[in-house]
């Protein structure tokens, strides 16, 4: 019997609690969440901005029976010697294992006026990290500062809702960490086609209510400023407790800090010198740590990390870590600027190690499946990119733990289990699991899985009626 205390109530913490139950954890599990609301999927916050989803639709399933969840409870300190987590409500929680899943904090650029003298956000300024942040974005004109993935998704969501949007970015093209210049230029054109005013290679230099001033003296009228300038791991609790902290909370292969009773997962954790910041990585870490705490062992998944723009009408994805992949044996490039399409595949031993794709939705979905399974890319690269069917990359052939919906981290097993419980079509599965409610790119795979499950379902033997004369 062991007591596990989880600090944080985001998707990493939620997944950990679920997997502890799955692996048969014996003991207590207590979750201390700083937000006053139950766990939800913050990846879908842009869908709240455009009205596609109500805030309540982001809620994650409730925790397993017996889990104690204390909402609105912030951890104020850790007594490592006595193994106690002290909380803001005056309570203290003993632990055998403490798991830090504190996520990340938004980075606010040092632009005069964005913060008050007291260090608080000025009126009309907000990041986009919580449901409460969505409610602070008001008015018919909004400036979005930062055109990374979240900034682009936020700008598109606001535009779909009828808001006039200016997107300010200090780099020459949006999503510069994930895309190369060719793909970035195509995305920039797509954003302008959607009615977004894009200001690349520009810096915000001052803010006053109603006006965001850029370098060279350009003033932009705005009712709200949404800051999407990146995040930093929230390692404040770990640092105060004397744990090793680099960019994030430093952990080893078992997700354990330099204190054997304290672990870290998700956006706050630094593993092998990196903080991936991907939901799929957080889920993998939660699975591995749950298995370890229950006496087992799980290896990291070998799948290629995927960054996908969750925006209807713009099919953009990057596979692998940012920057050129190492030890590439083959690079395949396809450019079709007239149709706004571009692809660059980097392969080693016929397998994907990195890629950038714009405008090829079928290839994006297929590459995700191949990367999850470690399968080779079909030898007819052109046909593959153009959407010709390839062998062995459909949802039926995927392993049960393969992620079909990357926006919501929904696995094939979760979808199949929901189907067997009565969610027998794509709409019902969306309601049950939230699959397809993000960028929608997995809709075809979900429909294919439904069809395969229907086809494999045993049919009852027809009744034989005996004729009575």
CATH number for 167: 3.50.50.60
For residue 174, count other CB atoms closer than 10 A to its CB. Answer: 28
Assigned domain for 117 exists? no
The answer to whether the beta carbons of residues 208 and 222 sit under 8 Å apart is no
Q: What mean pLDDT is predicted for residues 446-469? A: 67
Q: How far apart are CA 373 and CA 304, in angstroms?
A: 9
Query: Which three-class secondary structure state does DSSP give residue 415?
Result: helix
Q: Mark whether 213 and 271 lie in a shared domain.
A: no
Assigned domain for 469 exists? no
Mean pLDDT (the chain) is 89
State how beta strands 316-319 and 306-308 pair: antiparallel
Tens of pLDDT along 65-94? 999 999 999 999 999 999 999 999 999 999
Q: How far apart are CA 453 and CA 429, in angstroms?
A: 13
Residue closest to 262 by CA, chosen among 284, 240, 282, 283: 240
Q: Mark whether 361 and 413 lie in a shared domain.
A: yes
For residue 62, count other CB atoms closer than 10 A to its CB. Answer: 11
Most confident of 37-41, 226-230, 305-309, 399-403: 226-230
Q: Mark whether 33 and 69 lie in a shared domain.
A: yes
Q: Mark whether 442 and 318 lie in a shared domain.
A: yes
CA-only gyration radius of the chain, Å: 24
Banded pLDDT at 465 (limits 50, 70, 90):
very low
300 class by beta-carbon count within 10 Å (0-12 exposed, 13-18 middle, 19+ buried):
middle
* Phi and psi angles of residue 82, each rounded to the nearest 5 degrees, phi first: -95, -5
Kindly list the strands in the beta sheet with 341-348, ordered across the sheet, starting from the edge strand earlier in the chain: 306-308, 316-319, 351-358, 341-348, 330-336
Q: Which of 209, 229, 249 is the last residue of a domain?
A: 229
Q: Mark whether 343 and 282 lie in a shared domain.
A: no
State how beta strands 219-221 and 211-214 pair: antiparallel
Tens of pLDDT along 333-374? 999 988 999 999 999 999 888 999 999 988 888 887 787 777
Structural domain span for residue 200: 125-229
Q: Mark whether 252 and 339 lie in a shared domain.
A: no
Q: Mark whether 192 and 277 lie in a shared domain.
A: no
Q: How far apart are CA 179 and CA 319, in angstroms?
A: 10
Q: Mark whether 327 and 414 lie in a shared domain.
A: yes
Return the minimum-mean-pLDDT range out of 63-67, 134-138, 307-311. Answer: 307-311
221 contacts: CB under 8 Å, gap ≥ 6: 141, 210, 211
Tens of pLDDT along 90-114? 999 999 999 999 999 999 999 999 9
Q: Mark whether 223 and 248 lie in a shared domain.
A: no
CA-to-CA separations, 456 to 399, 420, 452, in angstroms, rounded: 16, 12, 6
Which tokens hold the place of 406?
A: 């990357």
Assigned domain for 112 exists? no
pLDDT for the residue numbered 243: 98
Return the minimum-mean-pLDDT range out of 58-67, 117-126, 306-315, 407-416. Answer: 407-416
74 contacts: CB under 8 Å, gap ≥ 6: 32, 34, 87, 88
Q: Mark whether 181 and 270 lie in a shared domain.
A: no
Query: Which three-class secondary structure state does DSSP give residue 115?
Result: strand
CATH number for 428: 3.30.390.30
Please name every residue paired with 142 in a beta bridge, in sequence order, or none if there are none: 165, 224
CA-to-CA separations, 281 to 12, 213, 271, 284, in angstroms, rounded: 9, 37, 11, 5
Tens of pLDDT along 191-212? 999 999 999 999 999 999 999 9
Most confident of 154-158, 400-404, 441-445: 154-158
Q: Mark whether 177 and 285 lie in a shared domain.
A: no
pLDDT at 403 over 60: yes
pLDDT for the residue numbered 437: 66
Tens of pLDDT along 7-36? 999 999 999 999 999 999 999 999 999 999
Q: Domain count of the chain?
A: 3
**Which residue shows structure tokens 């397993």?**
64
Q: How far apart are CA 157 and CA 163, in angstroms?
A: 9
Q: Mark whether 262 and 200 lie in a shared domain.
A: no
């Amino acid at each position: 019997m062991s007591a596990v205390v989880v600090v944080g109530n985001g998707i990493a913490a939620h997944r950990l609690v679920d997997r502890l139950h799955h692996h048969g954890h014996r003991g207590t599990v207590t979750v201390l969440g700083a937000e006053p609301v139950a766990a939800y999927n913050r990846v879908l916050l842009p869908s709240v901005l455009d009205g596609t989803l109500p805030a309540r639709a982001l809620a994650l399933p409730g925790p397993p029976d017996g889990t104690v969840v204390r909402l609105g409870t912030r951890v104020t300190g850790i007594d490592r010697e006595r193994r106690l987590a002290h909380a803001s409500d005056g309570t203290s929680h003993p632990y055998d294992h403490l798991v830090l899943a504190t996520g990340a904090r938004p980075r606010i650029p040092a632009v005069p006026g964005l913060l008050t003298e007291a260090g608080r956000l000025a009126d009309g300024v907000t990041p986009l990290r919580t449901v409460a942040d969505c409610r602070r974005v008001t008015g018919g004109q909004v400036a979005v500062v930062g055109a990374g993935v979240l900034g682009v998704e936020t700008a598109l969501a606001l535009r779909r809702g009828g808001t006039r949007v200016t997107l300010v970015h200090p780099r020459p093209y949006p999503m510069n960490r994930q895309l190369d210049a060719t793909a970035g230029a195509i995305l920039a054109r797509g954003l302008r086609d959607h009615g977004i005013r894009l200001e690349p290679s520009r810096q915000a230099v001052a803010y006053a209510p109603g006006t965001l001033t850029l370098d060279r003296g350009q003033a932009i009228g705005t009712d709200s400023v949404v800051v999407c300038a990146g995040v930093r791991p929230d390692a404040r609790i770990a640092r105060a407790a004397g744990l090793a902290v680099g960019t994030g909370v430093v952990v080893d292969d078992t997700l354990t800090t330099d204190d054997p009773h304290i672990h870290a997962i998700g956006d706050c954790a630094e593993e092998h010198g990196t903080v991936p910041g991907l939901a799929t990585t957080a889920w993998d870490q939660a699975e591995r740590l749950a298995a370890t705490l229950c006496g087992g062992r799980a290896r990291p998944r070998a799948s290629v990390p995927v960054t996908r723009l969750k925006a209807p009408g713009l099919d953009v994805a990057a596979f692998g870590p940012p920057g050129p992949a190492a030890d590439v044996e083959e690079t395949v490039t396809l450019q079709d600027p007239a149709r706004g399409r571009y692809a660059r595949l980097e392969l080693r031993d016929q397998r994907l190690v990195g890629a950038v794709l714009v405008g090829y939705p079928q290839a994006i979905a297929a590459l995700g499946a191949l990367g999850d399974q470690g399968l080779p890319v079909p030898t007819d690269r052109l046909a593959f990119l153009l959407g010709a069917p390839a062998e062995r990359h459909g949802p039926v052939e995927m392993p049960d733990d393969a992620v079909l919906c990357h926006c919501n981290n929904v696995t094939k097993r979760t979808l199949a289990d929901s189907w067997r419980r009565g969610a027998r079509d794509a709409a019902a599965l969306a309601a049950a699991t939230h699959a397809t409610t993000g960028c929608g790119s997995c809709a075809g795979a979900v429909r294919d899985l439904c069809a395969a499950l229907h086809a494999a379902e045993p049919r009852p033997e027809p009744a034989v009626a005996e004729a009575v004369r």
